[in-house]
Structure formats: C-alpha cells, structure tokens
C-alpha cells in the first residue's frame, strides 16, 4: 500500500486530491459523494462579495425599505422574518458539511474590496472551517493602479482576515503577477499558509449577433495544467508554504505532473462537473497505478522531485526552452508547402 498522505496547510490529508470550489460543493449530497469517491478534503463553493452586495441591494430596495409610492402600498413583499442572508445559508451549509464529513472542510471567500465582508472569515471559522481559502478575484484594469498597488490589495485583505481568524489561510492567485515568487514571499511574510495556483478568470465573450458581452462558464482544458506545472515547479523549494495546484487537471497524468513539480495537493473541478465524482476515484487509481509501476513507496518521495531546484537543466522552465520549442514547430504538409 503506497502512502499517499500529504500535508496541506498543516492538515494531514490521506491523499492529494481535493475538490476545489465549484457549484458541486453547494449540495450536501454531492459533497458526500465526493468524500465517498476518495476526496481527501473539500473546498466549499466560494462566497462572493459581489453576490453579497447584489443581495444587499435587493434586500434593501425591495424588502427592507420597500416603501415606494403611495398610501395604498407600503411595500410589495410579505414577511421577511425568515429571510436569511446568503451568509447564513453558507454557514449553515458549512456546519452541515462539517457534521457529516470526516475529511477537512475549507471555506472559500471571494472578493476584492476591504469592505468588512472578510469579517465573515471569523464566522466561517466558528462554523467549523478547517482552513480558509481567500480568492481575490481582481482584474487590474485601472491605469492608475500599479503592480505594487495590486499586490497591496491582496496583502491588505490577507492581513485583515488574519486578524480575525486563527485557522490557516490559503491565497488563491491569478497568474498575472510580474514576479510571482517575490509576491508569494510577501504573502508568506504577511502570514499566508499557502498559495493556490491559479485562479481561472471567466472570460467574457462577444456575441456577434447582439453585439453584447456575454458571460459563460468555460470548463478548463488539460493544456491549462502546463502553466501550473511551471510555476509550482518554480515555487517549490523557494517557499515552505503549501502549494495547491488548481486548473486543468482532468486525469491522473496532470495530477502526477503537478505533484512531481511540487504541489502538495491537486484541486479538481471541471473534470468532476463533467464526469461526476467517479472521476476522482479514477484519478486516484491512476496515480496509485503509476506509482506502483515505478515502485514509489510514498507521495512524499515523488512530491517536488521535479521542481526547479532539482532539475538537472533548470532552463527547461526558463526562457531558453521557449526558443527551442518554437523552433521545433513544423507546419502540417500543405499549409505552407
């Protein structure tokens, strides 16, 4: 029996497969089936700051202060005594998940502004969260905001959250930092316990008929794992923090590559949305089979064995490989000649 245990934010996990924040985590039934399928921990769906703001706006306008016009109607909605904000519903879900699951449960916060909503972290901790994932979903589109400002935003939120919780915090990051290792070090200094690489920004599309921006969920592809492999390999050995890989894992192959690069855990979402919880078992089986075949005894042996510092030729992860790869490209016959 291979030892697949891994350390994630100081929590001992039975294996490195952790379903990440996705709509699947909203249903207790699906969370339970993920545990049955072998998940080692679970990150609940994200609690979005925007959702809270929109909900507040709705509640304020149509429920709490619905007085609109005349003496005949003081408002249109009935009793809202039972109204619960989505915060309460999230916490309730978290409590139920904690009560029913034996694996660690990580709560996820998603927002961009330090408007007090991170106080929620305290309540998530009280509701039983074993750790918090802070997902700062910020698109830096303002020319007056410098790279340093962007980093400061993350650090401020982390610091704010750190002040109210004692459970570990993992920062979920986008790939758009000019010097990721430097920023990761700053996060470490500010008290982060881990980083999760990388957030997948939902990309709006243009509808050519309606000439409108449309939003749709695009599931990840295997190719997206490559970006994670490179950066995890670069960071492993440069930070003692937990490294979680998220995005592009559809089979055991990507999972293994990320673990070899140095990930402590591998998150799964798109493949589970697409194929259901059984996919997690298959990935786990694939990892084990591959390790058995190559006579690995433990995940600890494998983890990070191909990170930047352990590579015989570190240029494979650096710029030189870019030239080699590009030069090696040969077009299909008939395209050019």
Partner 1 sequence: MTTYLNLDGNEAAARMAYLGSEVIAIYPITPSSNMGEWADEWAAQGKPNLWGVVPKIIEMQSEGGAAGALHGALTSGALGTSFTASQGLLLFIPNLYKMAGELTPFVLHVAARALATHALSIFGDHSDVMACRATGCALLASNSVQEAQDMALVAQAATLAGRIPVIHFFDGFRTSHEVAKIVAVEPATVRAMIDDSLVAAHRARALSPEHPVLRGTAQNPDVFFQSRERANPFYDAFPALVQAAMDRFGELTGRHYRLFDYVGAPDAERVIVVMGSAAETVEETVEHLVARGEKVGLLKLRLFRPLDTRALLAAIPDSARSIAVLDRCKEPGADGEPLYKDVLTAFAEAAADGARPMPRVIGGRYGLASKEFTPGMVAAVFAELAKAKPKRQFTVGIVDDVTHLSLVWDDAFRSDASRRLQHAVFWGLGADGTVSANKNSIKIVGESTALQAQGYFVYDSKKSGAVTVSHLRFGDAPIRSSYLVEEGMAGFVACHQTVFVERYDLLAHAAPGGVFLLNTPDAPDAVWAGLPAAMRAGIAAKGLKLWVIDAYKVAQEAGMGRRINTIMQTCFFAISGILPREEAIAAIKKAVDKTYGRKSKRLADLNHRAIDVTLANLHAVPIGAAGEGAAPIVLPPDAAQPAFVRDFTLPIYRGEGNRLPVSAMPIDGTFPTGTAKFEKRNIGLEIPVWEADLCTQCGKCVFVCPHSAIRARAFPAEAAADAPPTFKHVPAKSKDFPAGTHISYQVAPEDCTGCGDCVEACPIHDKSNISRLAVNMAPIGPLREQERDNFDFFLKLPDFDRSLLKHGTIPGAMLLDPLFEFSGACAGCGETPYIRLATQLFGDRMLVANATGCSSIYGANLPSTPWTVNGAGRGPAWSNSLFEDNAEFGLGMRLAADQLMAYGMQLVKEMEAEVGGDLASAIVDADQRSELGIRAQRERVAALLSRLAAGSHPRAAELASLAEWLIRRSVWIIGGDGWAYDIGYGGLDHVLALSYDVNILVLDTEVYSNTGGQTSKATPVGAVAKFSAGGKATAKKDLARIASDYGHVYVATVAYGAKDVHTLKAFHEAESHAGPSLIVAYSPCIAHGVDMLYNQRQQDMAVKSGHWPLFRYDPRVEEAGGNPFRLDSAPPTQSIKAFMDSETRFAMLARSHPDAAERLVAQAQKDADRRYKGYQEIAAAHAPAAPKES
The contact set with partner 1 (CB under 8 A) reads 52-53, 55-65, 67-89, 115-117, 119, 211
Cα 117–Cα 121–Cα 273 angle in degrees, nearest 5: 95
CB of 106 to partner 1, least distance (A): 22
CB of 213 to partner 1, least distance (A): 9
Please, which residues have CB within 8 angstroms of residue 190's CB and are 6 or more apart in sequence?
Answer: 155, 158, 159, 162
88 vs 148, which CB is nearer to partner 1? 88
CB of 289 to partner 1, least distance (A): 40
Eight-state DSSP code of residue 73: -
32 vs 311, which CB is nearer to partner 1? 32
Q: Residue 48 pairs with which residues in a beta bridge?
A: 110
CB of 60 to partner 1, least distance (A): 6
Interior/surface letters 31-53, b for 16+ CB within 10 angstroms, e for the rest: bbbbbebbbbbbbbbbbbbeebe
62 vs 290, which CB is nearer to partner 1? 62
CB of 158 to partner 1, least distance (A): 20
CB of 208 to partner 1, least distance (A): 12
Under 8 Å between Cβ of 133 and 109 = yes
As a whole number of angstroms, the distance between CA 162 and CA 156 comes to 10
Interior/surface letters 104-120, b for 16+ CB within 10 angstroms, e for the rest: bbbbbbbbeeeeebbeb
75 vs 237, which CB is nearer to partner 1? 75
Please, which residues have CB within 8 angstroms of residue 181's CB and are 6 or more apart in sequence?
Answer: 234, 235, 238, 239
210 vs 331, which CB is nearer to partner 1? 210
206 vs 326, which CB is nearer to partner 1? 206
- The Cβ of residue 175 has, within 10 Å, a number of other Cβ atoms equal to 16
CB of 136 to partner 1, least distance (A): 18
28 vs 300, which CB is nearer to partner 1? 28
Under 8 Å between Cβ of 235 and 261 = no
């Amino acid at each position: 029996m291979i030892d697949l245990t891994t350390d994630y934010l100081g929590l001992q996990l039975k294996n490195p497969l952790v379903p990440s924040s996705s709509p699947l985590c909203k249903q207790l039934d699906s969370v339970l089936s993920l545990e049955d399928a072998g998940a080692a921990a679970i990150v609940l769906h994200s609690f979005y700051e925007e959702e809270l703001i929109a909900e507040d706006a709705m509640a304020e306008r149509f429920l709490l202060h619905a007085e609109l016009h005349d003496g005949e109607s003081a408002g249109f909605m009935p009793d809202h005594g039972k109204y619960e904000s989505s915060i309460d519903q999230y916490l309730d879900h978290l409590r139920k998940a904690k009560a029913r699951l034996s694996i660690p449960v990580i709560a996820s916060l998603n927002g961009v502004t330090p408007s007090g909503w991170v106080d929620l972290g305290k309540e998530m901790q009280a509701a039983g969260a074993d750790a918090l994932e802070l997902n700062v979903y910020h698109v830096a589109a303002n020319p007056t905001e410098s790279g340093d400002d962007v980093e400061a935003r993350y650090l401020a939120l982390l610091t704010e959250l750190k002040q109210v919780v004692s459970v570990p915090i993992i920062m979920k990051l986008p790939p758009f930092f000019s010097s990721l290792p430097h920023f990761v070090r700053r996060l470490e200094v500010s008290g982060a316990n881990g980083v999760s690489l990388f957030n997948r920004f939902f990309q709006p599309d243009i509808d050519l008929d309606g000439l409108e921006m449309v939003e749709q969920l695009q599931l990840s592809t295997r190719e997206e794992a490559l970006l994670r492999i490179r950066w995890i390999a670069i960071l492993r050995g440069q930070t003692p923090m937990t490294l979680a890989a998220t995005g592009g894992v559809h089979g055991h192959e990507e999972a293994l590559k990320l673990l070899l690069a140095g990930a402590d855990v591998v998150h799964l979402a798109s493949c589970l949305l697409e194929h259901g919880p059984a996919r997690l078992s298959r990935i786990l089986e694939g990892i084990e089979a591959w390790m058995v075949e190559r006579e690995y005894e433990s995940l600890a042996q494998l983890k990070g064995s191909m990170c930047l510092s352990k590579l015989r030729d570190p240029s494979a992860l650096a710029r030189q490989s870019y030239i080699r790869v590009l030069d090696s490209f040969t077009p299909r016959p008939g395209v050019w000649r």
